[in-house]
Structure 1
């Protein structure tokens, strides 16, 4: 229903607040693969929570492509039927460019990976170094605790997802979020990938909610955590 149906009072300081609506406004979130556990660029739960906080009348509709670009193309076409805005975590950025060209007046936020032609981009300032030999970020973090790995690269998915939610609601309320930068011709909010070492575990991944102490320090890592003072 776009912003004509959205009645918002946005406080654009460090956060947005106080949004209400006279009718439901649909934000379609198209996820490349929600089951991915290594360097996942999107935190769907945080995005949904943020939208709920700042827009009472917004509905977030999430669809997972399961890493299939054709499935995502179909989901994108379906989203255009009634969505007011699309947040796109692209399976294949090159193929997604053609999807964005079909969006018409429906704005698109590229999240995680830049898609040429998107209205906005929320993602990394530079590509993150790939992590090999692990099936999840948690496994990599536990290897750091165990001494089998010196560090791993953490993507600030929670922070990026919150920013994407703010950009989406700001656009729908006709109150654009400022302080973007131009990145390959697209207004962007860029975040740095974080190299996490043993001393950074609690201040980075635990503080952000990406992992818990219980997950990090159980079973084979429990004694090591106690020795290192990770509590």
Structure 2
């Protein structure tokens, strides 16, 4: 029935009716620190959204991009709350700016770096997720071409899916298994991995981080042929 209502709403031009339809959907607000930073390892927005939509048919994801500005993110937290978001997932620009902003009745999941008082945290076991100097594809090509011996791989896709699962569970009031505790917050922790030339396909390609065609395009094509990757 909800899908039918949404289809009807999509065909109606009047803004008030559209706003009413949006209000019918459970909303998870995803606040990213800087969506323009292609080297960020904290969140895969598309993967997060797909995971939410595949596990909660009626849910919608509202994405807010702070573009690296802590003041903007503070305002976006208030916007998400004012728009009746049911759960907030945040990749913080500055954790100190967020620790006292959310209302107790709105569950908060912090991603990448733990926000004190969060209801859940998804991040790395050995520290906060920092931006890398290059993208995963660029780093993989440097390893492939012999410019670097290894690259540091952060399982961003898996972390994004876990954050989505935690958000949906909080929305439904269900417990999420296998939590640890970090600073008094339930946490799901991952580890980064040093990837060498022997691991490029078994780790990066297998996990869908990049494709073999992407890795072996352009100047890397002959190197891939020499290594038997194409």
Tell me if both proteins adopt one fold, taking TM over 0.5 as the criterion: yes
Paired with 1:51 and 1:30, the residues of 2 have a C-alpha distance of 15
Rg larger in structure = 2
Q: CA RMSD in A?
A: 1.9
- Aligned counterpart for 1:89 among listed residues 67, 91, 95: 91
Match of 1:164 in 2: 163
**Deviations 1:59-113 (CA, angstroms, capped at 9, x unpaired):** 11011111111111111110011100000001112222233xx322100000111
In the alignment, structure 1 segments of 5+ residues that lack a partner are: 1-22
Question: Number of aligned pairs?
Answer: 207
The residue correspondences of 1:75-224 to structure 2 (distance < 5 A) are 75-81=76-82, 82-99=84-101, 102-127=102-127, 134-224=133-223
Alpha carbons 2:73, 2:93 under 8 Å: kept:
yes
Q: 1:135 offset after TM fit, Å?
A: 3.1
Q: 1:131 offset after TM fit, Å?
A: 7.6
**Deviations 1:134-190 (CA, angstroms, capped at 9, x unpaired):** 432221111000100011111111101111111111111121211101112110000
Q: 1:127 offset after TM fit, Å?
A: 2.4
Alpha carbons 2:143, 2:197 under 8 Å: kept:
yes
- Scaled by the length of structure 2, what TM-score is found? 0.84
Paired with 2:49 and 2:189, the residues of 1 have a C-alpha distance of 20
Q: 1:42 offset after TM fit, Å?
A: 0.4
Tell me: CA distance 1:114–1:131, structure 2 relative to 1, closer, same or farther (3 Å).
closer
Q: More helix per residue: 1 or 2? A: 2
Alpha carbons 1:46, 1:158 under 8 Å: kept:
yes
Paired with 1:49 and 1:131, the residues of 2 have a C-alpha distance of 23
Paired with 1:177 and 1:115, the residues of 2 have a C-alpha distance of 19
Match of 1:35 in 2: 36
**Deviations 1:175-223 (CA, angstroms, capped at 9, x unpaired):** 1211101112110000001111111111222222221212211111111
Runs of 4+ in 1 over 4 A off after TM superposition: 128-132
- Scaled by the length of structure 1, what TM-score is found? 0.84
Paired with 2:81 and 2:203, the residues of 1 have a C-alpha distance of 37
In the alignment, structure 2 segments of 5+ residues that lack a partner are: 1-23
